[in-house]
Amino acid sequence: MSSASRKPRAYDPDPQAPGQACEAPGCAATGAYRAPKNRNGAREFQWFCLDHIRAFNAAWDYYRGMSEAEIEAQLRADTSWQRPSWPLGRLGHAARMDEALEAQLHAFAFGPRPKAAALRPTAPPELRDALSVLGLPWPVTLPEVKARYKALAKRHHPDANNGDKRSEETLKTINLAYAALRGKLSATGPVTQTHSGRS
Residue 157 CB burial class (10 angstroms; 0-12, 13-18, ≥19): middle
Half-sphere exposure of 137 (CA within 13 A, CB side): 11
Q: Is residue 158, in this structure, part of any structural domain at all?
A: yes
Whether 170 and 133 share a structural domain: yes
Q: Nearest 5 degrees, angle CA 123-CA 92-CA 145?
A: 40
d(CA 57, CA 48): 11
Look at 190 and 87; give whichever has higher pLDDT. 87
Whether 29 and 44 share a structural domain: yes
Q: Is residue 8, in this structure, part of any structural domain at all?
A: no
Residues 6+ apart with CB under 8 A from 17: 30, 31, 32, 33, 34, 47
Domain tally for the chain? 3
Whether 56 and 73 share a structural domain: no
Q: Is residue 102, in this structure, part of any structural domain at all?
A: yes
Highest mean pLDDT among 66-70, 141-145, 155-159: 141-145
Whether 125 and 176 share a structural domain: yes
Whether 29 and 79 share a structural domain: no
Quote the pLDDT of residue 116: 52
pLDDT-derived band at 192, boundaries 50, 70, 90 = very low
Domain end (from 120, 135, 160): 120
Q: Does residue 194 register a pLDDT over 50?
A: no
Quote the pLDDT of residue 193: 39
Q: Is residue 2, in this structure, part of any structural domain at all?
A: no
Domain end (from 103, 120, 137): 120
- Report the CATH number at residue 133: 1.10.287.110
Q: Is residue 106, in this structure, part of any structural domain at all?
A: yes
Mean pLDDT of 48-74: 85
Range of the domain at 98: 67-120
Q: Model confidence over 75-111: pLDDT tens digits?
A: 877 776 666 665 554 444 555 666 777 777 777 777 7
Give the bridge partners for 21, in sequence order: 30
d(CA 53, CA 61): 14
Whether 29 and 85 share a structural domain: no
The percent of residues in the chain predicted with pLDDT above 90, rounded, is 8
d(CA 177, CA 149): 9
Q: Which amino acid is located at 189 in the chain? A: G
Quote the pLDDT of residue 113: 60
Q: Is residue 47, in this structure, part of any structural domain at all?
A: yes
Quote the pLDDT of residue 105: 77
Whether 38 and 76 share a structural domain: no
Q: Is residue 3, in this structure, part of any structural domain at all?
A: no
Instruction: Give the largest Cα separation in the chain, rounded.
Output: 82
Residues 6+ apart with CB under 8 A from 135: 86, 87, 148
Whether 155 and 165 share a structural domain: yes
Q: Does residue 195 register a pLDDT over 80?
A: no
Q: Is residue 174, in this structure, part of any structural domain at all?
A: yes
Residue 70 CB burial class (10 angstroms; 0-12, 13-18, ≥19): exposed
Q: Model confidence over 15-49: pLDDT tens digits?
A: 777 888 898 899 988 888 888 887 766 677 888 89
Whether 182 and 128 share a structural domain: yes
